[in-house]
Amino acid sequence: MQKVGAIVLSIFAFFVLLFLYTKIAGPISFSINSITTTKSDTFNVSGEGSVTVKPDIALISAGVTAKGNTVKEAQDQINTVSNNIAASIKKLGVEEKDIQTTNYTINPNYDFQSNIQRITGYNASTNFLIKIRNIDLINQVIDAATTSGANQISSISFDVDEKAKAEDEARKKAVDAAKKKAESAARIAGFRLGKLVNYSENFGGGAFPIPLSRDLSISAGSPKTEIEPGSSEIKVNATLSYEIL
């Protein structure tokens, strides 16, 4: 009984002392450290999707160069030819908003005989970027431009008006392929896929370049233009990252 009484007395004394301490020093502060762990094991898998598309837009760069004894003479020549080109291709259905001037320059020609700098004339040039929305008219537009006085065709390129739709289709194929590959690998290797934690993609293909650079001093008997737009692939490579359970 004496031992039990001593224990009770000790407990009572502890709480008395604790009470007195909190009155003097204030409440005792308690802190809890929180540690968060994350599962870093991931599984990455890639898939590719592609869609074959035919271009429905053509972009043509047509140019005009001329020479004159004066600035006005050179300028009048390219202005006249430019107006003729615009009029001829508009008759084929090309809208004015799709004919854009991309360059317009006039430079003097110099003669340095007898160590004297003398201007002998002027070179003028201008370029147009022509957007053809009816792809079937590409050959006719080129012929109309050159017949009207364009003496340079510096480049021709093709594109797809609704490229985003084709990209979405290729993207869906890429993601479906990656998912199937991930599910197959998990089943064979004996692990379970968790949630998707990351997605990345990159594109390939989708270009229709036709490099063309030539001087077109075309006569009335010149053969007609024959350009085929062909087709191309839009490719999407998708990479999926899954947690491993």
User: From 2.40.70.10, 3.30.70.2970, 3.40.50.2000, 3.30.499.10, which CATH number describes the 57-159 domain?
Assistant: 3.30.70.2970
Supply the pLDDT for residue 113.
77
Residue 85 and residue 63: Cα distance in Å, rounded?
10
Residue 8 has pLDDT above 70, yes or no: no
Residue 104 and residue 175: Cα distance in Å, rounded?
48
Q: Same CATH topology for 40-54+162-210+229-245 and 57-159? A: no
Supply the pLDDT for residue 115.
74
The verdict on domain 40-54+162-210+229-245 having CATH code 3.40.50.720 is no
CB contact at 8 A, 145 and 62: yes
Q: Which of 40-54, 76-90, 112-126, 209-223 has the lowest mean pLDDT?
A: 209-223
Supply the pLDDT for residue 9.
58
Mean pLDDT for 175-190 is 94
Domains of the chain, residue spans: 40-54+162-210+229-245, 57-159
Q: What is the pTM of this model?
A: 0.62
CB atoms near residue 92 (< 10 Å): 14
CB contact at 8 A, 200 and 174: no
Residue 92 and residue 208: Cα distance in Å, rounded?
23
Q: What pLDDT band is residue 205 in, cutting at 50, 70 and 90?
A: low
For residue range 12-29, list pLDDT tens digits in order: 555 555 555 555 555 544
Residue 103 and residue 78: Cα distance in Å, rounded?
12
